[in-house]
Structure 1
Amino acid sequence: MSLFRKSLASFGIGAAKVDTILPHDVLIPGQPLPIEVRVQGGATEQQIDNIHLVLCCRYLDEVTTGRGDSDQRKEKIPQTCKLAEWSLPEAFVIGAQEERQFAFTLDLPFNTPVTIGDAQVWLDTSLDIAMAVDPKDKDTLTVRPEPLMDGVFTALEQVGLRIRQVECEAAKGFALPFVQEFEFVPVSGPFHGRWRELEVVAYRDEQGLQLWFEVDRRLKGVSGMLAGFLGRGELKRELQISADCSPEAAGEQVVAFLDETT
């Protein structure tokens, strides 16, 4: 193969390509994620040192912007969080126009954000090629609630609560640099007229589902639950649901807890 073609491949022209195939359109946190990575050779033979995958999501962080002291203000700026990383340390040579496939299974982390509202989750795949532009592939993922959280959402909907807003925002004290906050409003049922809104933050691990709630009865001026996570006091309403609990029982437990404590 000519030196010219090898030089072009080093700049990404006629180089190997990578494509990640996900057999399932909808993913559930905590469940296995089967993945197939296809590597297609380019115009010339190339050495592939590694295949690297990164599961990412978007969250908002409040940062101070502005150049002068009098012009500084706080803005919510999108940030990228690496939820998990995997590498396939299998160096190999891909021939010209050759195709190779790698099939494996990964675990989707429990606290991968549910893709509702502005939440974004994606998988970056890249080939590590020495002295060359690394080929990349980006796949946007659709993530739905894991069973316990789904049972909670279903129960809240059945008593007349509707999701109004979902945000991933920076927060301290958690394994990840953010939490996903779900904001509900009562449109009917027993909480209509009692509450202005309900904010829910969830954290899932092997032991179960931990939930924090904040109910706002005021007609105006809401500070938001995240104030508690950011140092303005502990949240008072907290509930732990065991991993052994069924989704239906989890929902019933949450509704009863909110009715008794609010």
Structure 2
Amino acid sequence: MFKKILASLGKGAATVDLQFNHQQYQAGESIQGEVVIQGGEVEQKINQLAVRLMMNVSLKQGNVSKEIAYIPLMSRDRIQPKEQKVIPFHYALPTNIPVSRGTVSYHFDTHLDIEGGVDRKDVDHLIVQPQGALQAIFNAMGRLGFREKADSGKIDQYGQEFAFFPTQAFLGQVSEVEMRFAAEQSGISVWMEVDCKNGYKEVEAKREFRLDWTILENEAELEKVLGQYIAEAVEQPYIYTQPFSYEANRHHGISSALPGMIGGLAVGVLGGMLVAEVMDEFVEEMFEEEAEEFEEAFDFFGGDDGEES
């Protein structure tokens, strides 16, 4: 009886442990593992065993944690004293899941619901890596002298955006390159924004293009093509200022991720939180535009040069 009382309080109760082979997996890859339930000092009734995949995202409003998947494994069972139960675990990561970055992380939350006792939990972190073709693009950007920024991989109402800064060839010409991707049958669609330094101003040059599999599988060709798109933007930034196709209805309602957009899964999961992010950015843009117009008008009338007439 005393042991049962202690077990109901968590002392000497059954424990749970999710085990899988690796910590890093590519988007779309299957995770194979097992959940080990170790019996305690007394027999206990198990109501349910389930695993949740949780996504942790840093937004302007703060850090949020959202459930990506719920995976039930067992219900209505018993665990005897010192008995060990091993339950197979399988889960395929979605192909459009955001990849892990400084603002995005993941963990599995394993929950063992014990009748009349303290529920047992186990937390296991994992890293979601880009699929091969996307990683090839990142590698090519690296060979061109670009490095990912600390806040690269941010989530917004369209999906996941990756940001790079130059360290070599385009240093002094480009301040930042932002990229989005969507997987398609024929390859990967790319939306690239190049922030070009043009005198005292910056011009946002926007390029949309598709990289087919033959290019993605050829390192030298991929590097050449990406470098050419960036160089063209630097040479003539003003001819690439049209909005991206996915931005067409940005201010007429909240857009959703395009089919296949990398990170698009997060759009549905985060929902209203991303709406708030968009509205905050829209208000900030309005104030910035008004400030620029005021500054230009001030300069037109001579401003204040600090001299007395």
Question: After TM superposition, is the score higher than 0.5?
Answer: yes
186, 198, 202: which one pairs with 2:166?
Answer: 186
Kindly state the Cα deviation for residue 216 of structure 1 after the two structures are TM-superposed: 1.3
Q: Give 1:206 shift.
A: 7.4
Could you tell me which residue of structure 2 aligns to residue 157 of structure 1? 142
Question: What residue number does 2:26 align with?
Answer: 28
Note the alpha carbon deviations across 1:115-174, whole angstroms, 9 max, x for none: 33343211111112233322111111123221111011011111111112234545225x
Higher strand proportion (structure 1 or 2): 1
Amino acid at match of 2:121: K
Question: Which amino acid is the alignment partner of residue 21 of structure 1?
Answer: Q
Whose helix fraction is larger, Structure 1's or Structure 2's? 2
Which residue does the alignment assign to 2:245?
Answer: none
1:53 paired residue number:
51
Counterparts of 1:212 and 1:6 in 2: how far apart (Å)? 61
Equivalent of 1:130, from 115, 120, 126? 115
> Do 1:147 and 1:247's aligned partners in 2 also have CA atoms closer than 8 Å?
no
1:35 is aligned with what amino acid? Answer: G
Q: Deviations over 1:168-217 (max 9, x none)?
A: 545225xxxxx43322111112x333211112234557786443322212
For residues 209-244 of structure 1, give each alpha carbon's deviation from its aligned partner in whole angstroms, at most 9, with x where no partner exists: 44332221248998xx9xxxxxxxxx9534445679
Distance 2:149 2:53 in 1: 27
2:63 to 78, 97, 109: 78
Segments of 4+ in structure 1 off by > 6 A? 219-222
2:117 partner SS:
coil
Superposed, 1:228-243 pairs within 5 Å as 236-241=206-211
Separation in 1 of the partners of 2:222 and 2:21? 30
Question: What is the CA–CA distance in structure 1 between the aligned matches of 2:115 and 2:210, rounded to whole Å?
Answer: 49
Instruction: Name which of 7, 12, 16 aligns with 1:14.
Output: 12
Map of 2:131 onto structure 1: 146
Q: C-alpha separation between the residues in 1 aligned to 2:20 and 2:128?
A: 13
Please tell me whether the aligned partners of residues 207 and 243 of structure 1 are also in contact (alpha carbons under 8 angstroms). Answer: yes
Distance 1:214 1:246, change over 3 A: closer
CA distance in 2, matches of 1:139, 1:240: 37
Match status 1:102 vs 2:87: yes
Q: Is the 8 A contact 2:32 2:91 kept in 1?
A: yes
Q: Are 2:153 and 2:162, in contact at CA under 8 Å, matched by a contact in 1?
A: no
Give the 3 Å change call, closer, same or farther, for CA 132–182 of structure 1 in structure 2.
Answer: same
Q: Distance in 1 between matches of 2:49 and 2:26?
A: 24
Secondary structure of the residue that 2:12 maps to in structure 1?
coil
Residue 175 (structure 2) pairs with residue 196 (structure 1): yes
Question: What secondary structure does 2:136 align onto?
Answer: helix
Structure 1 pair 166/149, CA: closer, same or farther in 2 (3 Å)?
A: farther
Percent identity between matched residues is: 30
Q: How many pairs does the alignment contain?
A: 231
Letter in 1 for 2:149: R
SS at match of 1:5: helix
**1:7 offset after TM fit, Å?**
2.9
* Secondary structure at the counterpart of residue 120 of structure 1: strand
Greater gyration radius: 2
Give the C-alpha shift of residue 247 in structure 1. 4.3
Give per-residue Cα distances to partners, 1:31-74, cap 9 Å, x unaligned: 111121111111111122222111112212333xxxxxxxxxxx
Gaps of 5+ in 2: 235-309
The answer to whether structure 1 residue 211 and structure 2 residue 196 are counterparts is no
CA distance in 2, matches of 1:49, 1:243: 49
